[in-house]
Amino acid sequence: MTPSRQGPVLGTGAIVRRGGAVLLVRRAKPPYAGEWAIPGGKVRLGENLQAAAEREILEETGVRIRASRPAYTFEYIERAEEQVRCHYVVVDLFGTWLEGEPRAGSDAAEAAWIPLAELDRFPVNAETRRALASVFPDLPGGKP
């Protein structure tokens, strides 16, 4: 990770449900390397959130989606010896599956439709669990 010198970096992703499963990636790089998470990445200058989420999901998973409204927002700040190493503000959107089956691409080690009822069998990062619990109140394990 490179230090945040100019300010927070804007990121986006999409919570995409198909039947009883949600699209997740196992991250290959920090933060959260090795954990399953909502796919997404950085928003490019001049790119709106929906276009960025659609591009990032396609790059990471090979799945085409239509992104819509915000579903969940969080910040990730990493510090080392009183210095900010990175600062991300992430806005995850609701996404609708259009076509394609998951395959790992970009910085994902794996990509898959993970059954919501089986989330506890996977090392899903805590922020992703909070996001999913906030949008799927019937999720096993309860509310956020």
CATH, domain range 9-135: 3.90.79.10
Express each pLDDT in 21-33 by its tens digit: 999 999 998 888 9
Judging by DSSP bridges, how do beta strands 36-37 and 83-99 pair with one another? unpaired
Quick check: 103 pLDDT over 60? Answer: yes
Give burial (CB, 10 Å; 0-12/13-18/19+) of 141. Answer: exposed
The pLDDT value given to residue 41: 95
Q: How far is CA 140 from CA 21, 23, 36, 112, 120, in A?
A: 13, 17, 17, 19, 9
The 3-state DSSP class for residue 120 equals helix
At 73 the pLDDT is 98
Q: Taking the domains of the chain in order of start, what are their residue ranges?
A: 9-135
Whether 13 shows a pLDDT value over 60: the answer reads: yes
pLDDT at res. 31: 82
Average pLDDT (72-88) is: 93
